[in-house]
Structure 1
Amino acid sequence: MTFHTLGIPDSSSIVTLTAFDVVDDPGVVKVPVAALFGPILPGHENLPAPVFAFLVENATTKQRVMFDLGPRKDAENAAPPIVELIKGAFPISRDITEQLVDAGIPLDSISAAIWSHAHVDHIGSDMSKFPPSTDLVFGRDTLTDTYPTKPTSTLLESDFAGRNLVKVDFTKSELEFGGLKAHDYFGDGSFYLLDVPGHLSGHVCGLARVTPTSFILLGADACHHAGALRPTEHLHRSFPCPGALLAATRSSVSAAHFSPLDSTGAFDLASRTTPLLDVADGGIFEDPPTARASLEELAKFDANADVFVVLAHDISLVPVVGPFPKLLNDWQARGWKDEVTWAFIDEGNPAFRFSPKAA
C-alpha cells in the first residue's frame, strides 16, 4: 500500500522534522499504567516513557512551528491542581525552549506552537517563554478555561495571554485521509493536522510529508504504547513480524495473559489480529470507545509502507532512532519502520511488558 490508498494527494512540498525528547532519561520516567491501558502484568505497573516534541520547518517558506512542547521542568509553577501529580514525574534539566536555543533555533523564529492536546506533558513550561509573535494553535474543542477562574483547571492564563489563538475547526475542511478529517496547515500539502478524538477534547495528530512520497504521523496521545496500536490484520500482511522474533514470542509472551494460543498452548502472535493492549476505561482517556475507533483508523496509516508512526511516548523506538534531537526525514532510507514496528514485543526492548516480572 502507498500513501495514495489513504487518500493523501500528491505534492512536491515537504517539511523537515526534528524530534526532541524533553525528558533527560525516559527510562526513569514512571507513569502509572492503570490510567493508560491494560492488561497490567505483575512488575509492569509503571511505564517508562520519552516525551517527544517536534520542530516542523516548511522546506520552501522556512516557516517553523512546534508540534507539542513536552512538560515543564518547574512543576511547582504549574496550575495548583496538577502540581502534586507531576512533581518529580519527569526528569528535565532543559525544557523545550532551552533545547531549541541549544540547537541554534531562536524562539522568535517559531511562528506557532501547536498543542496536540492540553495535557500538562504537551503544553510546555510556559507559553510566555515564546514571544507574542508565536501563535498558539489547538483543536477547536480544546477546553481553554484557566486557573484560578476555573479552580480545577490545569491551564494557566499565561498559556494564552498576549498572543494570537488559532482554533483548528475540522468541520470546515473537506480533506479526509484514512477515515480521519484533515487540515492542510501550510496550504501546500507538506504538513497536515488530523482530527483524532477520544483521548481529550481537541486532540489532534500531525502528518508530515518529509519526502514527496513519505510521511511521519505524529501520533501524540492517541495511545501510549505501541502495543495499543499493534498488531492488526493489515500490519501482519504489510509488515510481517520477523521470523526469529515471531518464534521468540511463543515463549516470551505470557500465554496466561494473552491469546490466541497454538496447539501446544504457546502464544500465537501470527494469529493475533487485534492490539495486545487496550485503552483503559476510567483513566485519562475522556472517551475510550471513541479512542479505540480512532486507533482503528490510525492502524491504516501504521500498516502503510509510506508512513512512519511516532507516538509521543513510544519508548520502543528510542534504541533505534535516538539519541535526540534527531532529524527524522530519512526514516525510510534508514529502514527505521522495519526495525521499530515489532520492537515493542522484543524482550530486549524497553517497551516489552508482556510477561510478569519477578518481584
Structure 2
Amino acid sequence: MPSPSPVAAVATVSIHTLAAGSLTLPERFFVQPVDDPDARKSVPSLSFLIHHESAAQVTRIVFDLGIRRDLQAYSPQICKHLATRQPVTSRPDVVQSLASGGLHPSDIDIIMLSHVHWDHIGTPSDFLHSLFVVGNGSLDLLSGRTKLENGSHSHFERGLLPLDRTIQLPDTSPGRPIETSEALRLRGRQVLLGPWHPFSSLPHTIDFFGDGSLYIVSAPGHLPGHINLLCRTAVDRYVYLAGDAYHDTRLLSGECEIAEWRDSERPDLVCCIHADRQQAKETINRIRALQRGETLLGPVEVVAAHDAVWAEVAAAKDRYWPGKL
C-alpha cells in the first residue's frame, strides 16, 4: 500500500516587536466625542521585526522605523510639530532595539514603511544596505510634488530615502507588476511587487513572497501610500499590522468617530489626522471585520502602531525582540 503523500508545510513568518520611542497624543485630534478636550495619552511608536525563511534563506524585514533617536535632526517644520506631541522619547530606537538581540542594521534585508510621517521614518541612513519598500504616492510626498493641508503633522523630508535602493509599489489600478530591481536580483530575494489582488475581505493585497506568509495590504485614508501587513504566523493564525489606520481602539470598536478640528492659525481650514477621512473609515471597517472573525481567516490579531494597551500586554508576554515569538 503506497504511503500517503506528505502534507506540504504552510509558509509562515515570525514577528517580534521593536521598541522605537513614544509620543503624546491630544485625544481631541484623533477621536470624537471626547469627555475632556485637554486629555492626552502617552503611546508607543511600534516597529516590527519579521523573519521569513525559505530554502535555508532567511529574509529579515523591519516594518516601520519609529521615532528618530536625534529629535533635533528632523526638519524645522517637524520639530515645530513635535512641540505639540511632548513628551516624546526616542530611545531605545530601532537600531538599539535590534542590537538587544544581536542584530545590526546590516542584517536587515528590507525595510517597509507603513507611511512617511515623522514618527515612522526613524533614521533610514543607519541602514546602508537595506532595500526600502514604500506605498504608492510616498515618493511624491517626500519630494514635495504632493502637498497636504490637513494639519501640522503633514510635513515631510526631502532626500529621506536612498532612491537607488527604494521601491515604490504600483497604484492599485489593474496593471503589470513593477520590474524587479537589480538590487533585488543581486540579493536573490524572490518577492512580488505587484500587481494587487483581492485576498479574503481585503480588496488590494500583494503576496510578497508568493507563499501566503506575508501580504502587503493597501490601506488608504491616513496618507497616500499607507500600507499594512497581514502576516501568517501559524497554520490558522494571522497578525495584522495596521500602522496608523487608527490611533485609538475606540475607533475600531465603533465607540468613537474620527476627529476633525479647525486650524488655530487658519480657522477656515478643517483638519483631520487622516488625509482622506472617508477612505480611512472604510479601511477601519475592513480591519474591524478581520478582528471580529467575520472573514474566512477567522479572528485576526490586529496591532496598530500606537496601541499602548497592546504594547503593555506584549511586554508582559515577552513579545519584544529578542523574546518569545
Call closer, same or farther: CA 1:148–1:296 in 2, change over 3 Å: closer
**Structure 1's 229 and 330: CA in aligned 2 closer, same or farther, altered over 3 A?**
farther
CA distance in structure 1 between the aligned counterparts of 2:32 and 2:278, rounded to whole angstroms: 14
Taking a change above 3 Å as real, the CA distance of residues 328 and 289 of structure 1, as seen in their structure-2 partners, is farther
The structural deviation recorded for 1:330 is 8.0
Q: CA deviation at 1:202?
A: 0.8
User: Do the aligned partners of residues 96 and 325 (structure 1) sit closer, same or farther apart at CA in structure 2, a change above 3 Å counting?
Assistant: farther
Find out whether 1:295 has 2:274 as its counterpart.
no
Is residue 176 of structure 1 aligned with residue 174 of structure 2? Answer: no
User: What is the root-mean-square deviation in Å for CA atoms of aligned residues?
Assistant: 2.7
Post-superposition CA distance 1:158-213 (Å, at most 9, x none):
42136411112243222333133111112221111111111111111111110121
From 239, 242, 246, give the equivalent of 1:219. Answer: 242
Distance 1:276 1:330, change over 3 A: farther
Question: For residues 161-200 of structure 1, what are the structure 2 equivalents within 5 Å?
Answer: 161=162, 163-169=164-170, 170-171=172-173, 172-200=195-223
Contact 1:110 1:134 in 2 (8 A): yes
Aligned length: 272
Give the conservation status (yes or no) of the 8 Å contact 1:208–1:217: yes
C-alpha distance 30-227 of structure 1, shift in aligned 2 (>3 A): same
Higher RCO by CA contacts (8 Å cutoff, separation 6 or greater): 1
Conserved in 2, the CA contact under 8 Å of 1:128 and 1:158?
no
- TM-score where L is the length of structure 1: 0.69
The reply on whether 1:69 has 2:58 as its aligned counterpart is: no
Quick one: distance in 1 between partners of 2:48 and 2:256? 26
1:319: Cα distance to partner?
A: 3.2
Structure 2 partner of 1:100: 98
Aligned residue identity for 2:100: D
Aligned to 2:315: 322
The reply on whether 1:111 has 2:100 as its aligned counterpart is no
Report deviation, 1:154: 3.5
Aligned with 1:16: secondary structure?
Answer: strand
TM-score normalised over the length of structure 2: 0.76
Q: Structure 1 unaligned segments of length 5 or more: list them.
A: 1-9, 231-274, 332-359
Whole-Å Cα distance in 1 between the matches of residues 245 and 141 of structure 2?
Answer: 23
- AA matched with 1:72: R
Q: C-alpha offsets along residues 311-333 of structure 1, whole Å, 9 cap, x if unaligned?
A: 111112233221566269988xx
The residue aligned with 1:35 is: 29
Give secondary structure in 2 for the equivalent of 1:86. Answer: helix
Cα 1:44–1:276 change in 2 (3 A) is farther
Label 1:146 to 1:43 Cα distance change in 2 as closer, same or farther (>3 A): closer
Distance in 2, Cα, partners of 1:150 & 1:227: 31
- Counterparts in 2 of 1:36 and 1:64: CA distance versus 1, 3 Å: same
Maintained 8 Å contact 1:69/1:123: yes
1:4-153 correspondence runs (5 A): 12-23=10-21, 29-42=23-36, 45-60=39-54, 61-87=57-83, 88-124=86-122, 126-131=123-128, 133-146=129-142
Query: Partner amino acid for 1:69?
Result: L
* 1:279 has 2:276 as partner: no
Q: Which amino acid counterpart does residue 240 of structure 2 have in structure 1?
A: L
**1:198–1:287: 8 Å Cα contact kept in structure 2?**
yes
Aligned residue identity for 2:10:
S
- The answer to whether the 8 Å contact 1:50/1:313 transfers is yes
The unaligned stretches of length 5 or more in structure 2 are 1-7, 149-153, 174-194, 261-270
Task: Flag the 1:162–1:141 CA change in 2: closer, same or farther, 3 A.
Answer: closer
Conserved in 1, the CA contact under 8 Å of 2:100 and 2:322?
Answer: no
Residues 144, 110 of structure 1: CA spacing in aligned structure 2 closer, same or farther, 3 A cutoff? farther
SS of match in other structure, 1:128: helix
Asked whether the equivalents of residues 80 and 154 of structure 1 are also in contact (C-alpha less than 8 Å), the reply is no
What are the within-5 Å matches in structure 2 for residues 300-315 of structure 1? Answer: 300-304=289-293, 305-315=298-308
